[in-house]
A and B are shown apart, each in its own frame.
Chain A
Amino acid sequence: MQRIGVFVCHCGSNIAATVDVKKVVEMAAREPGVVHAEDYQYMCSEAGQAKIAAAIAEKKLTGIVVCSCSPRMHEATFRKCAERAGLNPYMVEIANIREHCSWIHKNMEEATEKAVILARAAIAKVNLNAPLKPGESRVTKRALVIGGGIAGIQSALDIADAGYEVDIVEKTPSIGGRMAQLDKTFPTLDCSACILTPKMVEAAAHEKINIYTYSEVEKISGFVGDFTVDIRKKARSIDANKCTGCGACQEKCPSKKSLSEFNRGLNTRSAIYTPFAQAIPNVPVIDREACIKFKTGKCGICSKVCAAGAVDYEQKDEIFTEKYGAIVVATGFDTIKLDKYDEYAYNQSKDVITSLELERVMNAAGPTKGHLERLSDGKHPEHIVFVQCVGSRCSDERGKPYCSKICCMYTAKHAMLIRDKYPDVKVTVFYIDVRTPGKNFDEFYRRAVEEYGVNYIKGQVGKVAPQPDGSLLVQASDLLDNKQIKMKADMVVLATAIEPDPSVRPLATMLTASIDTNNFLTEAHPKLRPVESPTAGIFLSGVCQGPKDIPETVAQAGAAAVKAIGLLAKDKLTTNPCTAKADELLCNGCSTCANVCPYGAISYEVKLINDHGVREDRRIAVVNNALCQGCGACTVACPSGAMDLQGFSNRQIIAEVDAICR
């Protein structure tokens, strides 16, 4: 018989305001096995934990139930507390009477009754608990960073600087990501390339970093400390070891009509190309869909002009497998498609562009060589209208329900840069709210208004109508004046919502990392574990977790790196002891369990079994504790009930069911 202690937490008034904790103590004390029950203001506090430890010692408790917040919050805390007091940590059960009770019910009587039942279920379970001992698994001292933008580069550099091998996998031909496409950065207005390229070079030169561009993650298996990843290196059609990066091939390539991805489709590139001049590696790829050689078998000019003989039309995709201890996801973002927002005439006029396209227009390496001009006719614009919140803060399916966070600031930046360089250009910004929470951010926005004379109007744009004379008629609200405005503009720039890069969806499935309804990766805890995925060993870096600007991205990238380093620094990991275990006397050896095991953790051995005096060789399932992750699929597949899950045994769960239905 267990000797159980029950500890009911008030959580200040979080629990105590709706649950009569005294009553819970009183009722729990009557349950079988319970020899001690008490309540306290904050069980998780030092004093609360001291009470638990004292009771364990004094009452010689063999198991405890803490009625408090979610086990996802403090189970680990109370387990550690029990362990310090000499009790096996797996003899602790939590009754969640906060998130699942006091916070959702208003009626005290009802909530108290439910809390009592939840406590009862936990007591029934702990009566059947057995001490468990965690196992150990090894840690592969190598990290994988998925995505080679500023987030991935920063995470990789930090991990590599700590002395661990890092592989960066980037799906495009060069690292650099979105930041490489930006012209200037806020709120300092320094040049994006000037601060990014040194980082790219540093990553490329780092002896601990391997960069796999034009590559994608194909398959991921394993678990924290021991992931096995298949990476596909797409055929570049160029031998990177031979290529000198001279650029002759690109110059001579006759197929020059493909839209440049790097310049957001605003101009074209050759079929053999490096996305931009500072690309790393400076090795081109052949776009096989556009290449004349691949389409018709004729041409081959690039091969002829390549002095190094690097062009290899026969190159094939290559898949290699590598093991990693930690994975950092840094897949970044893209702007949403504007197909469903044609009231802004994005598809009807070349002079309506997104902000990211404006970055390319403003950039010296962009389609207009950095001259601000209309893309339709090359004319210098007299008036530019910026529209905020295009697709952000939308509750319908056209857009995104969240604030994209960076638009207010980059719009202020664009407005300021334009007014600075071209004082003759009038700039109007239509906004719903100007959101500038950040260091020097509001000051920056105010400078745009006060020093640069940018005209901010509160109100949304309803329609952009292209006019026969080539101008754009912008119809908008001025809410402060309660007017409808119609103004002519030469260009309209849309602050388009950002969304996670679509590649993150299949990746999350491979990683078994959870993802929210907007396809942002979910963090383990929104406040306390913001850079970790709930899936152990997966860390989040940059916009894949939520909208953020460059300094925030870099900060998070560093934080993710530190978490990864903390993992890689360990030689062994303690494993979850809640693993499956087969009862040898009951096992049929039928292999049903192995069929459903996602980890290949179950194997079969022929063993001499003594079954009530009958000795015979039997085929028996054996679970590898280092591989088993404790899902329990095998326990239900097992027809005889031989396979059980420690910590969540059949009898424990049934005891909970019984306690609830009593």
Chain B
Amino acid sequence: MQELINRAKELLADGTVVRVLGWRKGDMDYNPEVAYFNSAEELDNFVYDGFCGANLSKYMIEASKLEGKTLVFLKPCDTYSFNQLLCEHRVDRDKAYIIGVGCRGKLDIEKVKAQGISGITAVSGTELDGPDSIKVSTIYGDFDVAYTDAMLERCHVCKGKEHKIYDELIGESKDTHDMDRMAAVAAIEAMSPTEKFAYFQAELSKCIRCNACRNVCPACSCRKCVFDSTKFDSQQKANVDSFEEKMFHIIRAFHVAGRCTDCGECSRVCPQGIPLHLFNRKFIKDIDELYGKYQAGETADQRAPLVNFTFGDAEPSIVNERGSK
């Protein structure tokens, strides 16, 4: 972490960048915040540890409009989002100085709490070069939790430790992939229509339409969302569940289909714990199976599957064979 701060200070000092986009300490150890740092002094609050899951790519849209270069720290998975935004002309490569930071998987405090640990006061040992288990201090005493047991779901299905775009790299990354990314989707696919409907009804009825998923999503970066514009007569903000359950999340997922890098931020930030990534992954799975493997953000010059075709593409009726029995 100190290496990052030192390097940031150098780059600020030599004028390469005019500001730094990173994370700073939050009110608790497990909730660092995304922040700009405009001076060496401000960087004293900089933090980079296991809870810095936030993907900074999307912030580069606004940063690209500012004068001068911004130093941004991107984890391997974040670089996919940056590439995708670059592909869509939403960020300016010349306005970004990218330091690819090492990652050994990011943590989810809910995973810790799920182990029956409550009254958390502090968490330590989450740094990149930290030990294999983290120390959780609570009002009831200290607990050791294995790092991997506290990891976000998305890290268990990590796309890889390689940065897809960067100016320089600092820190070693670890391979954390130990689960089948599509297992949950496949499990739902295997349900009967009634079970599927009940499953999603139950999950989506929790939605309070706070828009956190939308706001955090690097693909959901429209200047104005269709749900806020008058273009489709679809603007509605009031939380009335029958709509949320059935339409909002489908439309959102469709809008990012082929562009979603599966960064998992939507599920990470959902205050209701809805597994929103299961929508995006369904599209990814279908695209991979029907049109060939495709990873959004792999490079910045790909043609997304929904703005592409082949003459021999499957007919929509294939859903009748592939779908529910």
Contacts and interface: CB of A to CB of B under 8 A. Distances in A.
A644 interface: yes
A641 B223 CA distance: 11
A650 B307 contact: no
A637 interface: yes
B231 interface: yes
A640 B223 contact: yes
Contacts of B308: 595
A206 B133 CA distance: 91
Interface stretch (A8-16, A485-493, A581-589): A581-589
Contacts of A639: 222, 226, 255-256, 259
A593 to B, nearest CB: 9
Contacts of B179: none
Contacts of B140: none
Contacts of A616: 65
A654 interface: yes
B229 A641 contact: yes
A586 B223 contact: yes
Contacts of B259: 639
B222 A588 contact: yes
Nearest to B225: A640
Interface in B198-248: 221-226, 229-233
Contact of A619 (B89, B222, B229): B89
A583 B221 CA distance: 16
Contacts of B226: 639-641
Contacts of B256: 639
A460 to B, nearest CB: 40
Contact of A585 (B65, B90, B224, B225): B224
A592 B229 contact: no
A590 interface: yes
B250 interface: no
Contacts of B229: 586, 640-641
Given A586-B229, A619-B89, A651-B231, A640 B306 contact: no
B303 A588 contact: no
B129 to A, nearest CB: 39
A650 B304 contact: no
A566 B310 CA distance: 38
Interface string A3-32: 000000000000000000000000000000
B144 interface: no
Contact of B232 (A595, A596, A637, A641): A641
Interface in B275-314: 303-304, 306-308
Nearest to A592: B307
Given A591-B89, A592-B304, A595-B303, A585 B231 contact: no
B88 interface: yes
A588 B223 CA distance: 6
Contacts, number: 63
Interface in A612-658: 616, 619, 637, 639-642, 644, 650-651, 654-655
A586 B231 contact: yes
A591 B223 contact: no
Interface string B63-91: 00100000000000000000000001110
Contacts of A588: 88-90, 221-223
Contacts of A650: 231-233
Interface string A570-611: 000000000000010111111110011000000010000001
A640 B232 contact: no
Contact of B307 (A637, A640, A641, A655): A637
Given A595-B307, A619-B89, A586 B224 contact: yes
Contacts of B223: 585-588, 611, 640
Given A588-B223, A592-B307, A637-B307, A644 B231 contact: yes
A590 B307 CA distance: 12
Nearest to B224: A586
A510 to B, nearest CB: 14
Contact of A654 (B89, B221, B225, B233): B233
Contacts of B90: 588-590
Contacts of B230: 651
Contacts of A654: 232-233
Interface in A73-127: none
Interface string A478-489: 000000000000
B15 to A, nearest CB: 24
A583 B226 CA distance: 12
Nearest to B88: A590
Contacts of A583: 231
Contacts of B233: 650-651, 654-655
Contacts of B306: 637
Contacts of A604: 89
Given A591-B89, A644-B231, A586 B222 contact: yes
A633 to B, nearest CB: 9
Contacts of B88: 588, 590-592
A647 to B, nearest CB: 15
A37 B303 CA distance: 51
Nearest to A619: B89
Nearest to A618: B223
B188 to A, nearest CB: 25
Nearest to A589: B89
A587 to B, nearest CB: 8
A646 to B, nearest CB: 13
Contacts of B89: 588-591, 604, 619
A596 B309 CA distance: 10
A589 B90 CA distance: 7
Contacts of B225: 640
Contacts of A651: 230-233
Nearest to B232: A650
Nearest to A609: B223
A588 B232 CA distance: 17
A641 B254 CA distance: 13
Contacts of A587: 223
Nearest to A586: B224
B250 to A, nearest CB: 15
A277 B165 CA distance: 69
Given A641-B231, A641-B232, A644-B231, A596 B307 contact: yes
B101 to A, nearest CB: 27
Interface centre among A637, A639, A650 (most CB of B within 10 A): A639
A639 to B, nearest CB: 5
Contact of B224 (A592, A595, A637, A640): A640
B307 to A, nearest CB: 4
A587 B259 CA distance: 17
A50 to B, nearest CB: 37
A583 B232 CA distance: 13
Nearest to B222: A640
A375 B187 CA distance: 71
Contacts of B304: 592, 595
A168 B225 CA distance: 53
A639 B89 CA distance: 14
Contacts of A642: 231
Interface in A287-332: none
A620 to B, nearest CB: 11
A596 B304 CA distance: 11
- Ranked nearest first, the 9 interchain pairs of A and B with the lowest CB-CB distance are A640-B222, A590-B88, A595-B307, A641-B231, A641-B226, A596-B307, A639-B255, A650-B232, A586-B224
Interface of B: 65, 88-90, 221-226, 229-233, 255-256, 259, 303-304, 306-308
Interface of A: 583, 585-592, 595-596, 604, 611, 616, 619, 637, 639-642, 644, 650-651, 654-655
Given A596-B307, A650-B232, 19 more contacts: A586-B222, A586-B223, A586-B231, A595-B304, A595-B307, A595-B308, A637-B307, A639-B226, A640-B222, A640-B224, A640-B225, A641-B226, A641-B231, A650-B233, A651-B230, A651-B232, A651-B233, A654-B233, A655-B233
7 contacts: A589-B90, A619-B89, A637-B306, A640-B226, A651-B232, A654-B232, A654-B233
